[in-house]
Amino acid sequence: MDESWRPILRLFRIVPISKETAVTFAVVIGFIVFISIVVQIGLYLIRRKKYILEQWDWYYRMSEAKDLSVKEMKILREMIKKSKVKNPVNVFKSIKLFDRCVDFEFKRLNLTEDEKEEYIDEISELRRKLHFDRYPPGEILNSTRGITLNQRIRMEFSIDDKKYYISSTVLNVKEDSIYVLLPRSEKYKNLFKVGQPLEIYFWRFGDGGYRFSTVVKNIITEPQGILQVGHSEDIERTQRRHYYRIYVSLPLYFRPLTEEQRATIRKNRNISFPKELKPYSGMITSISGGGISFISELPFPKRKILWLEIILSESQIISNIYGRVIRSKKISENNFKLFLEFLLITEKEREIIVRFVVTKQREKIKI
């Protein structure tokens, strides 16, 4: 074995360490690293415990500020712990988080009807004291418990591949359920069954349209027909405009505008396009008096202006209107879904679309 390097070590008075020394050194270093890790974990746990104690201290302070009784504090504390909420103070700030805790409790607890009614009353009083019983004006609804009494709704469901659309009214909203008036017509009495899935749509005044999925929990026949349906955590805001939107399959022709054409359309809507350039085609998936969504093979950026020709029927063709892309998303490798708002459209043309939407709704909804 070549040991020509040893004279170099002797020149600098460096002596190679023995195997025993190396092992000892490694053990010492490992022990120091281990102790450091243990100390860091211990410090983290101490800080974490201190942080949790501080959060619970704030929880009790905020409970007193909200004028909660000792019993209400215990109920809310139990809900927070069982739902594994990381920061208990956040329950005072978020209606959605509070509702999540309530939903978890109703699923966890096995209560009799009398116990359930008492518990519902306690949660309702707790909600009132936390000011979660009413959404502030202009705030987006993110819980079905924010639905107001006498809210008009539309229930959608399928039986044997036949789709039904039934309008109704919300009679009451409790912590565990929503109570909906059953239509008086005899033909609807046998359509509903316990456990039946429903899609519910409603328009919130001054806000927009909402949709959520639920199931029938109970059917109360006396003194009047009432459906008891469950709350849903997945409430979706589907519309922001004050025009009702329907889902359709309609042909569409469109052309993207250049910057020069875009600058002139407000003065002259009748833009001439080269004859050799044919319009692109797409398929409208939804339409309202405020805009459309459609499927296209071409992506377009936000705020892009498109010339549109909408074919409602053989006798109803709305041409030479303009829309602006508000968002788009890729739905497959070669297809994009574009959402447009009408930019240049006359009131007469908009009225034709609105009447078309209403007509289609009348064909579907059973009043």
Q: Please say which residue of 207, 239, 271 terminates a domain.
A: 239
Distance CA 355, CA 332 (A): 33
Domain that holds residue 182: 144-239
Contact criterion met (CB below 8 Å) for 283 and 338: no
Q: Facing residues of 292 across strands?
A: 287, 340
Residue 5's pLDDT band, with cuts at 50, 70 and 90, is low
Distance CA 198, CA 211 (A): 10
Q: Is residue 302 part of a domain?
A: yes
Closest C-alpha among 247, 148, 166, 165 to residue 207 = 148
Q: Please say which residue of 198, 216, 239 terminates a domain.
A: 239
Phi, psi of 231 (to 5 degrees): -75, 165
C-beta pairs of 181-189 under 8 Å, 24+ apart in sequence: 181/224, 181/225, 181/226, 181/227, 182/219, 182/224, 182/225, 182/226, 182/227, 183/225, 184/225, 188/366, 189/225
Mean pLDDT of the chain: 84
222 and 285 in a single domain? The answer is no
Q: Is residue 27 part of a domain?
A: no
Residue 139: its pLDDT value, please? Answer: 67
Distance CA 151, CA 22 (A): 79
pLDDT score of 367 more than 50: no
Q: Facing residues of 166 across strands?
A: 155, 366
Distance CA 109, CA 53 (A): 27
Q: Is residue 70 part of a domain?
A: no
202 and 287 in a single domain? The answer is no
Query: Residue 29 corresponds to which amino acid?
Result: I
Q: Looking at the 3D structure of the chain, how many domains does it have?
A: 2
| CATH code for position 196 | 2.30.110.10
* pLDDT tens digits, 316-341: 999 999 999 988 888 888 899 999 98
Lowest pLDDT segment from 17-31, 243-257, 349-363 = 17-31
Closest C-alpha among 224, 178, 226, 217 to residue 200 = 178
252 and 362 in a single domain? The answer is yes
Span 339-358, average pLDDT? 88
Q: Please say which residue of 208, 239, 270 terminates a domain.
A: 239
263 and 226 in a single domain? The answer is no
